[in-house]
Amino acid sequence: MTKIVGISGSLRKASFNTGLLRAASQVMPEGATLEVHTIAGIPLYNADEEAETGIPPAVTALKEAMIAADGVLLVTPEYNNSIPGPFKNAIDWTSRPSEDIAKVFGGRPFAIMGASPGGFGTILAQNAWLPTLRTLGTDAWFGGRLMASRAGKAFSPEGELQDDAVRDQLRRFMDGFVQFIRSRG
């Protein structure tokens, strides 16, 4: 069984990105699962807080899920043409302490996708993630891109995917990512 952890980088209840992640969990290929996670409950990173109280429980839970998975899927919104601060903050927390970077990220399969109300999807946010993924030593998959643009039309007001073309694209994306993970070992 191939296990993927997907992390939505949005805090909104009716988030397009959380909806895209939930839809991805419904179109997984045979023998693969997708566990949905969010960044809810992760505080702002503060090295003083880390030194005083250690890693927050929400961060520890996310790190443990990432380590237990065969691959990690980042589902990113795009704010002001880049990575949303809360999402980058969550990934920064999961790289703490620095001795854990190899265990959480090193050589592990990562993929990026996202949804946006704009016409360009999340292309700039996805590109902005690349230096971070490279620095953390991930094995990023570039075999497909999924940038659900004009998400207000593709999703219901509650954040549920209702566009069959996006669902088909999502199915192909997840098939490709699972094949990539399986080809590595």
CA atoms within 13 A on the CB side of 94: 27
Distance, in Å, from the CA atom of 75 to the CA atom of 16, rounded to the nearest integer, reads 10
- Which residues, in sequence order, are CB contacts of 24 under 8 Å at separation 6+? 6, 34, 73, 75, 113, 170, 173, 174
Give the domains, in start order, of the chain with CATH numbers. Answer: 7-183 (3.40.50.360)
Tell me the per-residue pLDDT of 31-64, one tens digit each, with 9 for 90 and over.
Answer: 999 999 999 999 999 999 999 999 999 999 999 9
For 143, other C-beta atoms within 10 Å of its C-beta total 11
pLDDT band for 159, please (50, 70, 90 cuts). Answer: confident
Mean pLDDT of 62-82: 97
Look at residue 185 and tell me whether its pLDDT is greater than 80. Answer: no
Place of tokens 């990512």: 177
Q: Which residue from 49, 61, 19 is spatially nearest to 154, judged by alpha carbons? A: 19
What does the chain come to in residues? 185
Give the H/E segment covering residue 175.
helix 164-183
Q: For strand 147-148 and strand 139-140, is the pairing parallel, antiparallel, or unpaired?
A: unpaired
Helix (H, G, I), strand (E, B) or coil at 112: strand
Rounded average pLDDT over 65-79: 97
Q: pLDDT digits over 13-24, tens only? A: 889 999 999 999
Name the pTM for this structure.
0.97
Average pLDDT over residues 59-82: 97
Question: Cα torsion for 141, 34, 151, 126, to the nearest 10°?
Answer: -30
**Average of per-residue pLDDT across 132-138:** 98
**Residue-level pLDDT at 130:** 97
